[in-house]
A = this chain, B = another copy of it.
């Protein structure tokens, strides 16, 4: 078990790599940053795309019983009133009368007083106010006027548009229970203390499924989804022993839930939630039916009964999953180089599905036109199929290291053998080097798409 300081150091290295190589930047960094908001750089944007596409592929495209939705972020106040978010989606806050800082009342011991950062407000004997509720939603005004009627909110979860469109989706897709509606998109919470890099941020992306069912199937399906979702994390490269399941106890679950499992990951900063699998019962559909005066019901053709469906919700944090993937991938390896010297190789051991770049393509030398031309041919062959990075600068060993550091699983080097200088047998073959084992193999150019493509799924 790593010590706290080792874990902190590891996390600092990860944050630094993310910035240095273009995974994640602070939003508006050049203006001092917008606290709790992050921009994915070129590599981070590719990881995000890979993760979202894989999630959608497995949960929507390959399943008959789940369909997609892509709802608006701006949300009608009536939706969030009915769902309970306007009344109840808040954190208890306390203010310090001396230093004016604001703290989450339930996290006072974990927080630091800005006046004396070595101490918590409690240790510092801060003069704290009574807790007040602070709503976590961002509000704005829609339309030309700025009165109460024009208030709308940035959605605090993607789930609500699924509930309010349930009837439209049911009618247009002719689905039968149990079935799900899936959505990927941004959600927003005005967290008082954004922290742990992208982990707790104010703007984040969710990947949510609302899986509708009969009441009697709710608990069983919650357990099934828990297992399926754990399998998903394993498929993208998070080993089972780094995942923890928290059976959220009574009194700590959200107001709508009668059973919730949190799937947690062992981050360097602690064991924290990646996804909640919540049995939301019929709470949301019932509330929206009541508030709108139009009951949201399902008609069972066999039993001829009408009822409000129950729902199981596997709700994954996209940014948190990316952070877990980055933390899990980060590795430092001691190697002895060509000159017999010890050196450290930093390697991001991403699953090839997730890796932002799939293949580096290198001409051995940049001043040899035949090598460069051939390398560009190889690049053009692979580019329609996968994200390729062409690099001709510096020694090949250094180019490998650069790709290791961003987790590129394969590199293809075009050398004199490739251009036929050592006989026809090796002509039109390249050296393919695998990231983790650093093993090299000779592969025919025409077989490259299948060779690499087959290892990406």
Contacts and interface: CB of A to CB of B under 8 A. Distances in A.
Interface of A: 19-22, 25, 27-46, 48-49, 53, 56-57, 61-62, 64, 67-76, 78-79, 93, 102, 134, 138-144, 152, 154, 161, 164-165, 167-169, 172-173, 181, 183, 186, 188, 190, 192, 202-203, 288, 291-292, 294, 379, 383-384, 386-387, 390
Nearest to A48: B70
B140 A30 contact: no
A69 B172 contact: no
21 contacts: A20-B172, A25-B168, A27-B72, A27-B76, A28-B75, A28-B164, A29-B164, A31-B78, A34-B75, A39-B69, A39-B70, A40-B71, A41-B168, A41-B169, A45-B70, A45-B183, A49-B56, A49-B68, A61-B384, A73-B73, A140-B140
Given A20-B172, A22-B173, A134-B144, A186 B76 contact: no
A21 B172 contact: yes
Given A31-B78, A42-B173, A138-B142, 4 more contacts: A30-B294, A31-B291, A34-B74, A42-B172
From A21, A28, A69, A141, residue with most partner B Cβ within 10 Å: A28
Contact of A45 (B22, B68, B203): B68
A355 to B, nearest CB: 13
Shortest 8 CB-CB distances between A and B: which pairs? A22-B172, A28-B76, A42-B67, A45-B68, A40-B70, A37-B72, A39-B71, A45-B70
A75 B38 CA distance: 10
Contacts of A29: 164-165, 168
Contacts of A140: 138-140, 154
Contacts of A168: 19, 22, 25, 29, 41
A211 to B, nearest CB: 15
A173 B188 CA distance: 30
B28 A78 contact: yes
A35 B164 contact: no
Contacts of A67: 22, 42
Contacts of A31: 76, 78-79, 164, 291-292
Contact of A34 (B22, B76, B102): B76
A224 to B, nearest CB: 20
A440 to B, nearest CB: 25
A20 B174 CA distance: 12
Contacts of A144: 93, 102, 134, 192
A169 to B, nearest CB: 6
A233 to B, nearest CB: 20
A29 to B, nearest CB: 7
Contacts of A49: 56, 68
B172 A72 contact: no
A144 B96 CA distance: 13
A70 B56 contact: no
Given A42-B169, A102-B144, A169-B22, A288 B30 contact: yes
A39 B173 contact: no
B172 A38 contact: no
Nearest to A175: B42
Given A30-B288, A41-B172, A169-B22, A61 B383 contact: yes
Contact of A167 (B30, B36, B152, B379): B30
A21 B70 CA distance: 15
A190 B39 contact: no
A40 B27 CA distance: 28
A76 B61 CA distance: 37
B203 A27 contact: no
A46 B66 CA distance: 13
Given A42-B172, A74-B188, A168-B29, A34 B152 contact: yes
Nearest to A172: B22
A203 B153 CA distance: 13
Contacts of A142: 34-36, 138, 190, 202
Contacts of A72: 27, 34, 37-39, 203
